[in-house]
């Protein structure tokens, strides 16, 4: 009997508690149907933790995160976090301190609510780039020289660029064997130049995969014009964040784009969207993005820990989600329906039971 893997639930801010409750209910169901060797634990982070303990990431939660095999991470209202006043970005902590450098964001259009037809995967480097809270050894990569002058620093390393490129090429091998590297090397000749050089070096290890490249501005236009031609889009941190929101919304809704943060030892399911404060507490939050992230997490665990049941559970969950969206059965308002987060969760649970019965 395999030792149980620990899955830590961290609800976060805004719509976080609603969608993480949905994710926990669905994971519990999968654990019992497929006898997954997974044990669920809980932690409080974000603004609730700040009010209770003075920090958005209390030390005991940090310890649990370090020890967890996988994390289901809710969205964070980081705009409200003040670094000097306990505002620690938990997502950035995962990406830097816990080594989850790869952010995988599939964007697949499933039904007529999609503005564009696509089936692509954005592979985004998540641990460096233009993000001020993760690109320095000490201090922040952003500073104000005078009242009217501010500067940001962008960090690109050969090592991280090669690592993320390998993830993209390996993913392309399992898909349609085409990687498009997105950059702005005409202006950022040194930083994006280094990124491109590293990607081209890695490409020589994958002669069966085609490599093309695009400037990030033309990529934004092409995603609107003909997203169906892209397979794997490989890019740096900030570009990946922006392009994935664009692609995800074009594919149907930000509320259905799953995301995974992956490292060498741990991974975290993290929805593509943010804390969506405008709909928090209204029941309108679409749980499908975090549920698809859960499916990606189970797939990663199956590959990295060799647990076949997790692969099976991942496929069945993704099938249940696709069926719900394709058949336009029970959908939240962002997808044109009237259902609540809880009603969508119940529909997924029923579908999981039905899929189990048909496979028996
Ligand atoms: P953050 O600053 O945390 O990224 P944000 O509100 O700027 O938050 P998102 O949370 O990604 O950005 O929301 C962008 C828009 O998409 C909002 O109008 C929001 O209501 C909608 N949205 C995001 N996630 C969902 C979801 N799961 N279900 C329904 N609508 C969503």
Q: Give me the DSSP letters along 196-235.
A: HHHHHHHHTT-TTSEEEEEEHHHHHHHHHH-GGG-SEEEE
**Whole-number Å distance between alpha carbons of 214 and 200:** 13
Q: What pLDDT was estimated at residue 360?
A: 59
Record: fold of 1-114+254-355: Isopropylmalate Dehydrogenase (3.40.718)
Among 245, 248, 249, 254, which is best to mutate for testing ligand 1, by the most ligand atoms less than 8 A from CB? 254
Q: What stretch(es) of the chain map to CATH 3.40.718.10?
A: 1-114+254-355, 115-251
Q: Quick one: CA dihedral 17, 262, 28, 258, positive or negative?
A: positive
Q: What is the mean pLDDT of each run of 10 residues along the chain (360 residues)?
A: 86 97 98 95 97 97 97 97 93 93 93 82 95 84 95 96 98 97 97 98 98 98 96 97 94 87 96 94 95 97 92 94 84 91 96 79
Residue 252, ligand 1, Cβ within 6 A: no
The CA-CA-CA angle for residues 335, 341, 345, to 5°, reads 105
Please name the residue that has the structure tokens 């934004």. Answer: 220
Closest CA to 300 of 69, 63, 90: 69
List the residue whose alpha carbon is closest to atom 20 of ligand 1.
276
Task: Judge if the beta carbon of residue 286 lies within 6 A of ligand 1.
Answer: yes
d(CA 130, CA 132): 6
Q: Measure 111 CA to ligand 1 centroid, in angstroms.
A: 20
Going from the C-alpha of 225 to that of each of 77, 114, 234, 270, the distances in angstroms are 32, 14, 19, 28
Q: What is the predicted pLDDT for the residue at 116?
A: 83
For residue 289 and ligand 1, the question of a CB distance below 6 A is answered with yes
Spatial CB neighbours of 312, under 8 Å, sequence gap ≥ 6: 34
Q: What is the pLDDT of residue 2?
A: 58
The predicted structure's pLDDT at residue 134: 79
DSSP state, 75?
A: P
Residue with CA nearest ligand 1 atom 17: 276
The CATH classification number of 115-251 equals: 3.40.718.10
Look-up of token digits 């189970």: 298
Pocket residue to mutate for ligand 1, from 20, 244, 250, 276, most atoms within 8 A of Cβ: 276
- Spacing, Cα 75 to ligand 1 middle (Å): 9
What H or E segment, with its residue span, contains residue 49? helix 46-53
Say if residue 64 is exposed, middle or buried (CB neighbours under 10 Å; 0-12, 13-18, 19+).
middle
Spacing, Cα 15 to ligand 1 middle (Å): 9
Catalytically annotated residue among 13, 69, 213, 241: 241
At residue 306, the 3 state secondary structure works out as: coil
- Residue 101 contacts residue 263 (beta carbons within 8 Å): yes
User: Which one from 184, 192, 231, 334 is the annotated catalytic residue?
Assistant: 184
Q: Is the CB of 274 under 6 A from ligand 1?
A: yes
Q: Considering the candidates 131, 133, 155, 213, report the single residue annotated as catalytic.
A: 131
Catalytic annotation on 208? no
- Known catalytic membership, residue 184: yes
311 is annotated as an active-site residue: no
CB burial of 173-211 (b: ≥16 within 10 Å; e: otherwise) equals: eeeeebbbbbbbbeebeebbebbbebbeebbeebeebeb
- At 359 the pLDDT is 63
Hey, whose CA ends up nearest to atom 12 of ligand 1? 274
Contacts of 189 (CB under 8 A, 6+ apart): none
How much is the pLDDT for 139? Answer: 85
Closest CA to 259 of 19, 3, 14, 69: 19
Quick check: is 155 catalytic? no
Q: Whose CA is nearest to atom 13 of ligand 1?
A: 276
């Amino acid at each position: 009997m395999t030792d149980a893997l620990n899955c830590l639930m961290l609800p976060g801010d805004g719509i976080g508690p609603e969608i993480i409750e949905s994710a926990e209910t669905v994971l519990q169901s999968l654990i019992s149907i497929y006898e997954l060797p997974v044990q669920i634990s809980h932690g409080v982070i974000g603004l609730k933790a700040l009010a209770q303990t003075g920090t958005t990431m209390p030390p005991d939660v940090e310890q649990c995160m370090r020890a967890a095999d996988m994390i289901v991470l809710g969205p964070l209202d980081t705009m409200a976090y003040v670094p000097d006043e306990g505002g620690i970005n938990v997502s950035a902590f995962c990406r830097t301190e816990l080594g989850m450098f790869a952010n995988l964001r599939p964007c697949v259009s499933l039904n007529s609510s999609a503005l564009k037809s696509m089936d692509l995967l954005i592979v985004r480097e998540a641990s460096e780039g233009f993000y001020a809270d993760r690109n320095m050894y000490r201090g922040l990569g952003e500073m104000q020289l005078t009242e009217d002058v501010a500067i940001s620093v962008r960090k690109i390393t050969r090592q991280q660029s090669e690592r993320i490129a390998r993830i993209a090429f390996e993913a392309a091998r399992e898909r349609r064997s085409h990687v498009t590297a997105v950059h702005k090397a005409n202006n950022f000749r040194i930083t994006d130049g280094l990124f491109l050089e590293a990607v081209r070096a890695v490409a020589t290890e994958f002669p069966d995969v085609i490599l093309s490249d695009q400037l990030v501005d033309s990529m934004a236009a092409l995603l609107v014009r003909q997203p169906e031609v892209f397979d794997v889009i490989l890019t740096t941190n900030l570009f990946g964040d922006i392009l994935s929101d664009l692609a995800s919304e074009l594919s149907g809704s930000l509320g259905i784009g799953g995301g995974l943060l992956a490292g060498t030892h741990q991974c975290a399911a993290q929805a593509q969207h943010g804390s969506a404060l405008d709909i928090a507490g209204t029941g309108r939050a679409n749980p499908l993005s975090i549920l698809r992230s859960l499916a990606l997490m189970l797939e990663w665990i199956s590959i990295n820990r060799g647990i076949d049941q997790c692969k099976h559970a991942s496929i069945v969950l993704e099938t249940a989600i696709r069926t719900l969206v394709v058949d336009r059965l029970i959908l939240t308002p962002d997808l044109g329906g009237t259902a609540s987060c809880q009603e969508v969760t119940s529909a997924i649970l029923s579908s999981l039971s039905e899929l189990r019965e048909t496979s028996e």
